Structure 1
Amino acid sequence: MNVLHFDCFSGISGDMTLAALIDVGADVEVIRETLNSFGLPITLEIEKVKRNGLAGTYVNVVAPDQEDYRFLPDVEKILSQSSMTAPQRDRAMAIFRKLAEAEAAVHGMPVEKVHFHEVGALDSIADIAGVSVAIDLLKIDRFTCRSVPPGTGSVKCAHGLMPVPTPATALLLRGMPIASAPVTGELVTPTGAAILAAVVNEFREQPEMIISRVGCGAGKRNPIEWPNLLRVFVGKTNTETTTDSIVVLETNLDDASPEVIGYCFEELLKAGALDVYTSPIQMKKQRPGVMLGVIAPANLVAVLEAIIFRETGTFGIRRYSAARSVLQREWKEVSTPWGIVRAKVGRSEGVEIITPEYEDCARLAREKNVPLRHVYSAVTKVV
């Protein structure tokens, strides 16, 4: 499995990420061709530079300032009409949506009404789209990241002088381990935080991997106190089975109706929980109850806890971290006599597990009036 680790000791921004991915081997000409397909006045200038004596790649996006605001649907239209592949476009839209959701929360408005006064600028579109293409070119399966130093002090932006991290960046950093910075200033931009929020699978100081390549992306500033670089490691895991960390949330309920628990169940999954489950329990004073459990990625703990408190009325939630072993996974589209079904395939050292996607199988079973088990069987036979 190919792994990329973000060593953002000096923070992260969109242009630093794109530069680091180019420095580690992403084909800059392919990235340029993709950006040219947008039909926008965007040019990439790539050069080797030094930051406090250390070498890295610097990317300068040359684009005119534009007065018109762009909304999320505008950005989606630009990407959909380009030469980006579906995976590249989906990753770029995931990053843009993270930004839009943060801005919407900060300004108290629907996501579709958020105008990208800075994020929708041409240079940010180039950074995010370029990063999405570069990731695809490098064929990365898994992303890890060390603790993130957002910086301190204040920064001037479209809304005036703002504290570091800015409100949108602070929301995007939820669930990530934060590190202190020895210098004053903004080290993590909203675009950089959104990239981490959209792609990172696990936050850890050191990844378990065999390093094959190291790349450095330079920021615009060249301070004398530290090298303003984003470093990335690319390599492979030792085995097809990887280990990561998740958080388990649990709460005991004795006064919630089945309908309330069921609704909470759906809201947690919709918000990104890896799994949700319930177990019958016997509580004090012999009251029958239900234990609600949630398996969560670390960066969504705060969001999922808020849903549990809001929907169940519980007074407390237990939280503990756990390590888990994960099979290498891939999605396949399988042709059956009734149509296409997606299936998740997991492999590790001679073990192969095939799980057809239930929603696809159920849809075909209803449309073609065949037993669900026949659709399942057809998928597993083909794979």
Structure 2
Amino acid sequence: LCDNGIRAELVTPTGAAILAGVATAAALPPITLERVGWGAGTRELPVPNLLRVLVGEAAAVGETGETETLATVETTIDDMSPQLYEPLMDRLFEAGALDVYLTPVVMKKSRPGVVLTALAAPDRAARLAELLFRETTTLGVRVAEVRRVRLLREMVEIETSWGRVPFKVSRLRGRATTVTPEFDVVRRIAQAEGRPVREVLDAVREEGRRTLGEPA
């Protein structure tokens, strides 16, 4: 529901309550359209007094993963000390950012700069934008809605030659595509045995894939 500036009742209070309770405001997702309904009102308005309803099924991601609507909050900076980015990123995560990353760019007058991008739930976008205005030298922030497709993932513990190790496992069409052991655990194993971390990481990952029945 949004205010379009028309001073008239466009929906009943009951209808507004139902919509607010069962629907989430978002851009129209890809759908397989089944039917379209139109309705016309009798009241004279500055805009066409029409209502269109689309009925369909969301385009299936199938077994590839799950989709969600997120917001990107982004700004470009060329005049801030690099030392300030670490505490800034910490605060963005504390404010609800799901991911934060920096991209080096060349700006006008050949100045080196940084594009700072934060990914978050749409209801966190305003908070993150305000934080960027407070914590950086930027004069403008870009906010956009995006759709993210995520592989299905889970944390599992797998018995290995070094004991039980937690793994992050992602799946595509039911098959494990990424089998990643918890790095801190791998590092502790390598330190205890005096072996290179990379060597232990490869060995533990291989055992994990074999246990899950996937090619090493």
TM over 0.5: yes
1:334–1:379 Cα contact (<8 Å) kept: no
2:105–2:114 Cα contact (<8 Å) kept: yes
1:373 aligns with 2:194: no
2:197 maps to a residue whose letter is L
Match of 1:269 in 2: 93
User: Deviation of residue 266 (structure 1)?
Assistant: 2.7
1:300 maps to a residue whose letter is R
1:254 aligns with 2:78: yes
Q: 1:325 is matched with which residue: 149, 165, 178?
A: 149
| Partner Cα distance (1:357, 1:268) in 2 | 24
| Partner Cα distance (1:367, 1:269) in 2 | 33
| Partner Cα distance (2:87, 2:112) in 1 | 20
Q: 1:222-260: CA deviations, max 9, x gaps?
A: xxxxxxxxxxxxxxx761222222212211111111210
1:355 aligns with 2:174: no
| Partner Cα distance (1:288, 1:207) in 2 | 37
| Partner Cα distance (1:261, 1:203) in 2 | 32
2:70–2:121 Cα contact (<8 Å) kept: yes
1:293 maps to a residue whose letter is T
Count, aligned residues: 163
SS of the residue corresponding to residue 316 of structure 1 reads: coil
Give the share of equivalent positions with the same residue, in percent. Answer: 37
- Choose between structure 1 and 2 for higher RCO, CA contacts under 8 A separated by at least 6 residues: 1
User: Deviation of residue 355 (structure 1)?
Assistant: 2.7
2:181 maps to a residue whose letter is P
| Partner Cα distance (1:203, 1:338) in 2 | 49
2:154 maps to a residue whose letter is E
1:239 maps to a residue whose letter is G
2:61–2:67 Cα contact (<8 Å) kept: no
1:182 maps to a residue whose letter is P
Q: 1:292 is matched with which residue: 113, 116, 123?
A: 116
TM-score (normalizing by structure 1): 0.36
TM-score (normalizing by structure 2): 0.60
| Partner Cα distance (2:197, 2:87) in 1 | 26
Larger strand percent: 2
Q: 2:129 is matched with which residue: 299, 302, 305?
A: 305
Match of 1:281 in 2: 105
| Partner Cα distance (1:205, 1:289) in 2 | 32
User: Deviation of residue 328 (structure 1)?
Assistant: 1.2
SS of the residue corresponding to residue 13 of structure 2 reads: coil
Match of 1:344 in 2: 168
1:335–1:379 Cα contact (<8 Å) kept: no
Q: 1:36-69: CA deviations, max 9, x gaps?
A: xxxxxxxxxxxxxxxxxxxxxxxxxxxxxxxxxx
Runs of 5+ unmatched residues, structure 2: 2-10, 19-23, 31-59, 209-216
Match of 1:182 in 2: 13
Aligned-residue Cα RMSD (Å) equals 3.5
| Partner Cα distance (1:363, 1:286) in 2 | 45
